[in-house]
Amino acid sequence: MRKRLFYVPYFLWIVLFVVIPLILIFMQSLTFDNGKSIFSNYQAFFSSGVYLKMTFNSFLFAFLITFFSLIISYPAAYFIANSKYDTFLILLIILPTWINLLLKAYAFIGIFSHDGSINYFLGLLGIAPQQLLFTNFSFIFVATYIEIPFMILPIYNSIKALDKTYIQASEDLGANKIQTFTKVVFPLTMNGVKTGIQTVFIPALSLFMLTRLIGGNRVITLGTAIEEHFLTTMNWSMGSTVGVILVFIMIAIILFTSKTKKNKVGVKNHE
Amino acid sequence: MSLLQLKNVTQVFDDEVVLKDIDIDIEKGKFYSILGPSGSGKTTMLRIISGFSKPTSGQVIFEGKDISNFPANKRNMNTVFQNYSLFPHLNVYENVAFGLALKKVDEKTISKKVAKVLQLVQLEHFEGRMIDELSGGQQQRVAIARAIVNEPEILLLDEPLSALDMKLRKNMQYELRQLQQELGITFIFVTHDQEEALAMSDEIIVMNDGIVQQSGSPVDIYDEPVNHFVANFIGESNIVDGQMLDDYQVKFVGKEFECADAGIPQNERVEVVIRPEDLDITTKDNGKLIVNVDSQSFRGDHFEIMAHDEDDNNWLIHSTNPAKESMGIGLFFEPEDIHVMRLNESEEDFDARLESYEE
């Protein structure tokens, strides 16, 4: 009985800061005008080319950010996990996450800006200053940089937890290093990859500060849309609608990536 | 011709000599056991044979070819690992087919071979099961199937039965032995369990301190252990100090006995081994040795009797009947039951000496 007492803070937290806000946002997104459908905001969302394009943009950017951080993080995590100094290296990876996001964003403004360090070096090579800031490239670059630690950590953990005898077994059965990696190591560290994708893709969907500071408001995602509706156009109802849709997209992604497959593929079942 | 040879193999890890100048010869189609306590170097030896470790010096010769520098995936051998190491993301069929699929064998042949080998290990209907849905004994069989489906020249088994319970273990011993005879593949079985080694092997290689102490058939090793370690490690032994008086004459516990050993310099200090089951209990008058019984315990198929003689040497006796008196019973044994061991005799010298007087 006493054990339940320990759950109280957790439940209070969940109810006050998760469940109630979600309900409020959902209520906010509904329309209670006479003569209008209660879901008219949703109808507006799905019939508007602008919103659908925004959704598509969000997905595209989130996908690219996740993709680039994955192809950088997996080899990095693999290298770190097999290194003698792995605890030190992983600390180096974690350190930047302790620095405030805003500070990092401003640092990149300094690096990418018209008079920034990159253009200075290009100047030394005799190349005219380039427009780096406020481009899709800079947005994806900075977002990827920020997300990489969150991708490396779960992958590193799953590689670290991998029983090395599986690798030996694979080599014993005739697999070379590449075959061992594709057929044994990568599939067995898939859970880390999935967790990494979840922790990167979902926040990347709703990034809004970076879109403004680095993307220069040229990159419009669902995150920016919500920000605009709440702070600029004061259309809280529509902002909430976008928010609710974003929540559903996230739930869908979590369900999709954490589906445990009891695979029996590639086999004729005689049972 | 021998199938596999280790020549002067030495392995050093961080200044610690794990294997010292190992020379072994493995013949085709036999069941070998590498037997030794933990830390004896037996697993290191297996890893050198399988290609997971490179020896510090020495050669591994396979079918006349030096394969010392071949990685594990280029050797015509497969291993059954101690913890099986079955791939948890694949089902039974995919696990067993793993090696064949790598060799680009066509799907049809694979499924035929997998079906056949699963039948051999009595897991016909388990193809679609995931590994975590199998019991320990079933995983064991899958591990064996996964290895032998590749038709290796040598199957290496790294203490594969140690995780199984007693009864299953005994069953698997018979099955492994049978499987080996059916397939005709050379088995090299690493174990610390002397009973297991005695029951299954054609040849046993006894290891201790990184040295091959003795190799030979189970009967040879049991009946004629080369030294104190082997006598003690394989089966149970009574070992007492003695003195060699002449060929076929040995003295221990202050008495002279006829024995079956020769070729040892006169009056040399030796150790005398008599197996507990070779000691027969008789009356004081008929006994060659007189001992006092300290304790008896019933072991199901025999009594284990602890006794001591007048020199305070302990004697362990296995007897089908309990000792009636605790004071002064006689022990009787034949000359052949006495085995004399020289101190610090190498296996080579031992074999040479045996040959010199045995026909």
Residue-by-residue pLDDT tens, chain B, 359 positions: 689 999 999 999 988 999 999 999 999 999 999 999 988 999 999 999 999 999 999 999 999 899 998 998 889 899 999 889 999 999 999 999 999 999 999 999 999 999 999 998 889 899 999 999 999 889 999 999 999 999 999 999 999 888 888 888 888 899 899 999 999 999 999 999 998 999 999 999 999 999 999 999 999 999 889 999 999 999 889 999 999 998 898 999 888 899 888 888 888 899 999 999 999 988 888 888 889 888 888 888 889 999 988 888 889 999 988 887 667 888 999 998 999 998 888 888 888 888 887 75
Cβ–Cβ below 8 Å for A172 and B103: no
| Cα distance between residue B270 and residue B272, in whole Å | 7
Cβ–Cβ below 8 Å for B128 and A165: no
Cβ–Cβ below 8 Å for A172 and B79: yes
Evaluate whether residue A75 is within a structural domain: yes
| Chain A residues with beta carbon closer than 8 angstroms to that of B99 | 173-174
Task: Return the residue in A163, A164, A173, A265 with the most chain B beta carbons within 10 A, the one to mutate for interface testing.
Answer: A173
User: Residue B73: closest CA among chain A residues belongs to which residue?
Assistant: A174
For residue A214, pLDDT over 90 is answered with: no
| Cα distance between residue A39 and residue B351, in whole Å | 95
Evaluate whether residue A10 is within a structural domain: no
Is the complex ipTM more than 0.85?
no
* Beta-sheet strands, E only, within chain B: 2-13, 16-27, 31-35, 57-62, 65-66, 77-80, 154-158, 186-191, 203-208, 211-216, 238-246, 249-252, 255-258, 269-274, 280-282, 289-298, 303-308, 314-319, 329-332, 339-342
User: Residue B91: closest CA among chain A residues belongs to which residue?
Assistant: A264
Identify which of B72, B103, B128 has the shortest CB distance to residue A172: B72
For residue A268, pLDDT over 50 is answered with: no
Evaluate whether residue A34 is within a structural domain: no
Evaluate whether residue A56 is within a structural domain: yes
Provide the domain limits for residue A254. 47-264
What does the pLDDT look like over A85-111, one tens digit per residue? 999 999 999 998 898 888 988 898 888
Evaluate whether residue A79 is within a structural domain: yes
Evaluate whether residue A81 is within a structural domain: yes
Between residues A270 and B49, which one has the greater pLDDT?
A: B49
Cβ–Cβ below 8 Å for A269 and B150: no
What does the pLDDT look like over A179-199, one tens digit per residue? 999 999 999 999 899 999 989
Residue B125 Cα, gap to closest chain A Cα (Å): 6
| Chain B residues with beta carbon closer than 8 angstroms to that of A267 | 91, 93-94, 127-128
Place of tokens 């109630």: A20
pTM score of the predicted model:
0.80
Task: Give the pLDDT confidence score for residue B42 in this predicted structure.
Answer: 92
Task: Give the pLDDT confidence score for residue B93 in this predicted structure.
Answer: 95
Identify which of A165, A183, A187 has the shortest CB distance to residue B85: A165
For residue A260, pLDDT over 60 is answered with: no
Asked if A33 and A237 touch (Cβ cutoff 8 Å), the reply is: no
| Chain A residues with beta carbon closer than 8 angstroms to that of B85 | 163, 165-166, 168-169
User: Residue B127: closest CA among chain A residues belongs to which residue?
Assistant: A269
Which token pair is A74?
């997996």
Can you give the three-state secondary structure of A86-109, one letter per residue? Answer: HHHHHHHHHHHHHCCHHHHHHHHH
Evaluate whether residue A16 is within a structural domain: no
| Chain B residues with beta carbon closer than 8 angstroms to that of A170 | 87, 98
Evaluate whether residue A37 is within a structural domain: no
* Number of neighbours of residue A225 by Cβ within 10 angstroms: 27
Asked if B60 and B67 touch (Cβ cutoff 8 Å), the reply is: yes
* Beta-sheet strands, E only, within B2-153: 2-13, 16-27, 31-35, 57-62, 65-66, 77-80
Contacts for B282 with CB less than 8 Å, ≥ 6 apart: B329, B330, B331, B332
As for how many domains chain A has, the answer is 1
Which CATH number covers residue A127? 1.10.3720.10
Task: Give the pLDDT confidence score for residue A6 in this predicted structure.
Answer: 87
